Structure 1
Amino acid sequence: MGFFDEASDLLGKGMNAAKDMVTEGAVVAKGAVAGMAVEQRPFMRAFVRMCSDGWAQGWNERNGGNASYRMTVEEAAACKPYFYDTPSSWVPLKTAVPQLGGAFFACTAAGSFMRNLAGDVAGNMGIVELSEAGDSWRVVWGFRDGGRPTSELEAHLACHRVRMEVTYGVSRVVYHAHPAHTVALSLLLPATPRALSKALWCAMTECAMVFPEGVGAVDVMVPGGEALAQATAREAERHGAVVWAAHGLLVTGATFDEAFGLMHTIEKAAQICLLARAADGGSARFDTQVSDDILRAIAASVGKTLDESLL
């Protein structure tokens, strides 16, 4: 082989190597775009914003709180091309939710810090698929480095099932956090829907417009336990928000804005209630009283009906 033949051969090998590098780069790029494609979906961006706003409010200290979203059929279909080629193994649920069989849920990771979510979405949350029977789940995207869904997944799914049924499919978001004033109020008052709802309604009258069904309440229970999940689901049949005594607040909604706004409203009303009581030496008797008739009229002004059993 002459000089020019050798040069041509080397040049050809170099071109092939370059093509291989481009091909490999394209595969890597596809993976990067795949992750970005999911993270940039509108529902994911809204999810991350809600969690970031909750941390900014001081509701999600350390790894406190969690959130989940029931994806639409269209959202799941758009994300499927970017799911893992090999999903995780199926993990059985303690309580099956056949009504949610086959659904996909975006949710925060167990032990994740919400302050870190915006900077590393796939490392702090992911997407799980429920089996057709609704008795197990598997990871199809995210939860990088061996992460798992929130330890409160059972409570979230129980609430999703109930709220989907009572709202005819409208409710999609479940958000749990530790708003300080709401937790403090749960220590001061009995952990009952009537005691907490009436105090919140009377502290800030707009509450009668925002949650005329009141708030549910669950007494002190072990976080992440089956008992807490089922007790919360029972309360969620009548209430879009449930106070966990000495623990936190769980809210639901059709959108992330609706869920966040519900928690924000409840927390502000709880703060006002505590401020007023503290300013009056702990008394709950104020010079300005909000009557039941006023509360009924406020709810009626926006076409809603107050839950009479809580008055």
Structure 2
Amino acid sequence: MKVLDADFAKGFIHLCESGFKRGWHERNGGNLSYRIKPDEVERISEELNEKGPFLPIGTKVQELAGEYFMVTGSGKYFGNVPLEPENNIAIIQIDQSGENCQIKWGLCNGGVPTSELPSHLMNHNVKKRVTDGSYRVIYHCHATNIIALTFVLPLKDEIFTRELWEAATECPVVFPSGVGVVKWMIPGGREIALETSKRMEEYDVVIWAHHGLFCSGEDFDQAFGLADTVEKAAEILVKTLSMVSQKRQTIQPEGFRQLARAFQVDLPEKFLYEK
């Protein structure tokens, strides 16, 4: 099977197109990665290059040794992925040391995987462990309203979670574990990757202050739907804060507890404080 005929490749490209149409990927902003299943690798094996260059990852992910990933390329535009996928995305394999990767397919006109590869792989490492391997997608986008909120809300997990939960009733059901927040840091390096991966131990969503969102999920629909829900809640909150200095009414802690019982989700009490 050709890579571009595989369902996972079609899903990867579709997410890139959807995120671009949302306006979350200006220029070469944002990145996406997918941990490919062994049977999917087997089906496309004839198209994989055994002589591709090895590149340093910038961190060590020994637990991912031998794994294959589809990733966006550094400096590549999400809007161009559907038009020229082989030039804008790649399949890489992690070497046995967990410190390097080899390009197996894609980036046919040259280039390297996303500059955020350390963050992606360290997050994959965490999510593979804490979900028994079920999570396979890490998605980073520059969601406009979330970025705006990082200039006005305290950069605390509890406050961001509670404000987003209050913005739309579905939010505590869609992301019941809450959201993590990382203060502004230089992107692309091991330090921000480490801070993000620490929060991925607990959350499926991590906000980068003044930068965007990192979302994780079992598949493309789940990861993109999570980003979409968080960003819509942020948009509602931005509009609310632009109209009034203080909300007249909102969902109260007991209301969240009732939601938790109705939808059979566990909402941590640390987010249900009395304001």
What range is the shorter-chain TM-score in? over 0.9
Say yes or no: does 1:97 pair with 2:58.
Answer: no
Say yes or no: does 1:230 pair with 2:191.
Answer: no
CA offset digits 1:126-146 (Å, max 9, x no partner)? 100001232211101001121
Say yes or no: does 1:60 pair with 2:21.
Answer: no
- Aligned mate of 1:125, from 89, 96, 108: 89
- The aligned amino acid for 2:216 is T
- Aligned mate of 1:295, from 244, 256, 260: 256
CA offset digits 1:19-65 (Å, max 9, x no partner)? xxxxxxxxxxxxxxx7xx10121000000001100000001111000
Task: Give the distance between the partners of 1:184 and 1:230, measured in 2 at CA.
Answer: 24
Asked if 2 retains the 8 angstrom alpha-carbon contact of 1:155 and 1:224, the reply is yes
- Aligned mate of 1:264, from 228, 253, 261: 228
SS in 1 for 2:140: strand
Task: Give the distance between the partners of 1:186 and 1:310, measured in 2 at CA.
Answer: 18
Asked if 1 retains the 8 angstrom alpha-carbon contact of 2:57 and 2:100, the reply is yes
CA offset digits 1:185-241 (Å, max 9, x no partner)? 111111111111010000111101000100011000001121110000001000001
- Aligned mate of 2:241, from 256, 272, 277: 277
Question: How is 1:1-311 mapped onto 2 (pairs within 5 angstroms)?
Answer: 37-88=2-53, 90-280=54-244, 283=245, 285-311=246-272
Task: Give the distance between the partners of 1:213 and 1:66, measured in 2 at CA.
Answer: 24
SS in 1 for 2:150: helix
Asked if 1 retains the 8 angstrom alpha-carbon contact of 2:58 and 2:189, the reply is no
- The aligned amino acid for 2:49 is Y
Unpaired runs of 5+ residues, structure 2, are none
SS in 2 for 1:151: coil
Task: Give the distance between the partners of 1:235 and 1:193, measured in 2 at CA.
Answer: 10
CA offset digits 1:136-182 (Å, max 9, x no partner)? 11101001121110000000000001111111111000000001001
- The aligned amino acid for 1:58 is G
SS in 1 for 2:151: helix
Q: Which has the higher contact order (CA 8 A, sep 6+)?
A: 2
CA RMSD of aligned residues (A): 1.1
Asked if 1 retains the 8 angstrom alpha-carbon contact of 2:93 and 2:104, the reply is yes
SS in 1 for 2:44: helix
Residue number in structure 2 paired with 1:31: none
The alpha-carbon deviation at position 78 of structure 1 amounts to 1.2
Which of the pair is proportionally richer in helix? 1
Task: Give the distance between the partners of 2:216 and 2:225, measured in 1 at CA.
Answer: 10
The alpha-carbon deviation at position 93 of structure 1 amounts to 2.9
Which is higher, the Rg of structure 1 or of structure 2? Answer: 1
Task: Give the distance between the partners of 1:299 and 1:64, measured in 2 at CA.
Answer: 36
Task: Give the distance between the partners of 1:154 and 1:125, measured in 2 at CA.
Answer: 17
Task: Give the structure-1-normalised TM-score.
Answer: 0.85
SS in 2 for 1:273: helix
The alpha-carbon deviation at position 103 of structure 1 amounts to 0.1
Unpaired runs of 5+ residues, structure 1, are 1-33
Aligned length, in residue pairs: 272
Task: Give the distance between the partners of 2:259 and 2:10, measured in 1 at CA.
Answer: 34
Task: Give the distance between the partners of 2:265 and 2:206, measured in 1 at CA.
Answer: 20
SS in 1 for 2:133: coil
Asked if 2 retains the 8 angstrom alpha-carbon contact of 1:102 and 1:133, the reply is no
Asked if 2 retains the 8 angstrom alpha-carbon contact of 1:252 and 1:259, the reply is yes
